[in-house]
Amino acid sequence: MPKAKAVILPAPVETVVPRGDGAESAAANSPGQAIECYPADRAFHAALARLSGGISPIALMLAYADWMSHLAAAPQRQLELAQTAALDAKRLGDAARHFFSPQHGPWSLIKPQAQDRRFARPEWELPPFNLLAQGFLQTQQWWHGATTGVRGVAKQNQAIVEFSVRQMLDVLAPSNFVATNPVVQQEAFQSGGANFVSGWQNWCGDWMRLMSGQVKPAAGHDFVVGETVAISPGKVVYRNELIELIQYAPATEKVRPEPILIVPAWIMKYYILDLSPHNSLVKHLTGQGFTVFMISWRNPGTEDRDVAFDDYRRLGVEAALDTISGIVQGRKIHALGYCLGGTLLSIAAAAMARDGDDRLKSITLLAAQTDFTEAGELTLFINESQVAFLEDMMWERGVLETTQMAGAFQLLRSNDLIWSRITRDYLMGERSPPSDLMAWNADATRLPYRMHSEYLRKLFLNNDLAAGRYLVEGKPVSLSDIHTPMFVVGTVHDHVAPWKSAYKIHFLVDADVTFLLTSGGHNTGIVAPPDEAGHSYRVRTKAVDATYVGPDEWLKTTPAVEGSWWGEWTDWLAVRSGAPSAPPSLGIGHAGEPVLPDAPGDYVRH
């Protein structure tokens, strides 16, 4: 008989995570424990990710096993849930029999929450649709009780189960179906079914755009970078392989001597802060007499798989500060960081303070986190199993694609961003009015494999920055080294960077902190032009030697102010700035240097 041939498998490799000094060490769950990564396993996980949408099935199974096993060992809790279900069914039956009596009017059993707009139209107050909506809300409330508060279940596993069950229930909401949605039925009756024809056309248009690789929604094509959005005049004054630095033209005869550097997140394009002229923070700042610089990040490709998180600090913040110092010599700089850009700015500021670099006049953080222990629902996607799964998915492609990032953010607000849009576009046959913010939101970017892996592990999983373990150039940095005055903005309805998480900056830095809590969400709360109605905020300053006040007490004792927070911040900057003087030149203009484009530059267009 012929001898059997041996099957030779590829040798395992170790996951590599860079240290701050550029050297490399094996990643570990604990010090000294290297993690072996087999290429065949990683390829299998990458293939599986295409089917699961980037969500780790193992993480879900572990969470459900934790919840179900503890619930199975809690007979009294099971009895209580059964009694609640029976009582809810009885109450719904009574409401159905006596719907028109004074005691059993619309929403007599349960009302939608204020942020739930699915059942806001008056048509939902009529039978049988009102009873369908109340039955659905009762079911949703029952499952929330069943998936939370089970003794012994790990906190994160409980959150995963509750979140995933909520997502499944949202699919079955009566507002999503023609037969159970009175608003859709009324529109169909009045239009003779024309809404379904328009909805089919909308679906076909979206499908064709998806198949052709276009990511912008239909309304998004009304907004073109450099023509209708991101049109503040200026010039690119510096470029490297990662950033273009834009210097905006002055809008006043004299300007404050201290310039402002804005560090946006590289998860999305920078022009969230320079949308249309009526809601551009850049335009507002230049109109108030400030010289403004903005980092525009290059959208990475697969060739950038090994770009590290520290490269964004070194080639981004550090390179921008060096360039500004050459243009506006001898002047300190007001630095602003938004979202992930704020986290990066905090790291850079801590490293600068450690090394005796005092170029920062003030630090402003917008919806940015420095402690990730309570980072909101986004952390549902961040545990060891999920991060390893994402790493294998990115390992194959070299980047985290825009669809994965956008999908994660949409799930956090699925009612507004997924199901309500499907109902409006495809059942009602309508389209949302064109919006510059929606167009920007669809203009997503990719994330390099190495950078994103380091970000998830060092900041989300290990919380190295808040714990003083984060390394810059081989040495740890501590936020307590920051003594520069800070202005920190949180937003009330932030699913990405919850305001109580941003509030933790109070006990991390050794500086005067002015904390402002504004209405709105992660984006709508930040883009708050002064002439736009509906904005409000609360603000209070904590001196460096003042006693710490917790976030709940702060909220109770800090009065609300109507209006935009932009004016409050520019007043704060003005107090910390010198007397206006002649504006600086646009760039340095050394002979022999390549000619750089005008704002918004080239990187933002790709």
CB neighbours (10 Å) of residue 587?
A: 17
pLDDT of residue 11: 39
Q: How confident is the model at residue 5 (pLDDT cuts 50, 70, 90)?
A: very low
| Residues annotated catalytic, as ranges | 339
User: Does the structure show a pLDDT above 70 at 24?
Assistant: no
State pLDDT tens for residues 269-288.
Answer: 999 999 999 999 999 999 99
Share of the chain above pLDDT 90, in %: 70
pTM beyond 0.85, yes or no: yes
Q: Where are the domains of the chain?
A: 13-53, 234-373+463-583+596-605
- Predicted confidence at residue 14, as pLDDT, reads 42
Give the start-end residues of each E strand in 65-162. Answer: none
What is the reported pLDDT for 47? 82
pLDDT at 27 over 50: no
Partners of 17 in the beta sheet? 25
Q: What is the pLDDT of residue 221?
A: 63
Which tens digit of pLDDT belongs to each residue from 195-242? 999 999 999 988 887 777 665 555 556 799 999 999 999 999 999 999
Provide, rounded to the nearest whole percent, the portion of the chain with pLDDT above 70. Answer: 88
CB atoms within 10 A of CB 129: 21
Predicted pLDDT at 101: 73
What is the residue-wise DSSP string for 368-434? --S--TT-GGGGGG-SHHHHHHHHHHHHHHSEE-HHHHHHHHHHHTHIIIIIHHHIIIIIS---PPP
pLDDT at 454: 95
- How many angstroms separate the Cα of 104 from the Cα of each of 100, 122, 125? 6, 17, 12
The bridge status of strand 513-521 relative to strand 486-493 is: parallel
Mean pLDDT, residues 492-509 = 95
Residue 23's pLDDT band (cuts 50, 70, 90): very low
| CB-based contact 230:274 (threshold 8 Å) | yes
What is the distance, to the nearest Å, from the Cα of residue 39 to the centroid of all Cα atoms in its chain?
31
Q: What is the pLDDT of residue 29?
A: 37
> What digits encode the pLDDT tens for the residues 353-387?
999 999 999 999 999 999 999 887 777 767 888 88
pLDDT of residue 10: 39
Q: State the pLDDT confidence band at 479, using cuts at 50, 70 and 90.
A: very high
Least reliable range by pLDDT among 110-119, 336-345, 403-412, 556-565: 403-412
DSSP 224-244: -BTTTBS---EEEEEE-SSEE
Between CA 337 and CA 74 the distance in angstroms is 48
Closest CA to 351 of 310, 387, 384, 322: 310
Neighbours of 464 (CB within 10 A): 19
CA distances (Å), origin 99, targets 59, 110, 206: 44, 14, 41
Tens of pLDDT along 287-324?
Answer: 999 999 999 999 999 999 999 999 999 999 999 999 99
Mean predicted confidence (pLDDT) in 597-603: 97
Query: How much is the average pLDDT of 28-52?
Result: 67
Banded model confidence at residue 400, pLDDT cuts 50, 70, 90 = confident
Strand residues in 95-242 grouped as ranges (E): 234-239
Mean pLDDT within 68-80:
97
Tell me the pLDDT band of 132, cut-offs 50, 70 and 90.
very high
- Is 210 in a helix, a strand, or coil? helix
Q: What pLDDT, on a 0 to 100 scale, did the predictor assign at position 49? A: 77
Confidence of residue 104 (pLDDT cuts 50, 70, 90): low
Contact by Cβ (8 Å): 294, 274 = yes
Position 3 confidence tier, pLDDT thresholds 50, 70, 90: very low
pLDDT of residue 46: 80
Query: What Å distances lie between residue 279 and 117, 436, 440, 524, CA to CA?
Result: 26, 10, 13, 11
pLDDT of 262 higher than 50: yes
135 CB contacts (<8 Å, ≥6 apart)?
Answer: 92
> How would you classify the pairing of strands 333-338 and 292-297?
unpaired
Tell me the mean pLDDT in the region 430-435.
Answer: 85
State which amino acid sits at residue 409.
Answer: F
Distances (CA, A) of 161 to 53, 67, 155, 408, 416: 17, 8, 10, 16, 21
pLDDT of residue 6: 37
Please tell me the CATH superfamily of domain 234-373+463-583+596-605, with its number. Alpha/Beta hydrolase fold, catalytic domain (3.40.50.1820)
Query: Is residue 404 scored above 70 in pLDDT?
Result: no
Residue 217, token pair as written in the block: 């929604």
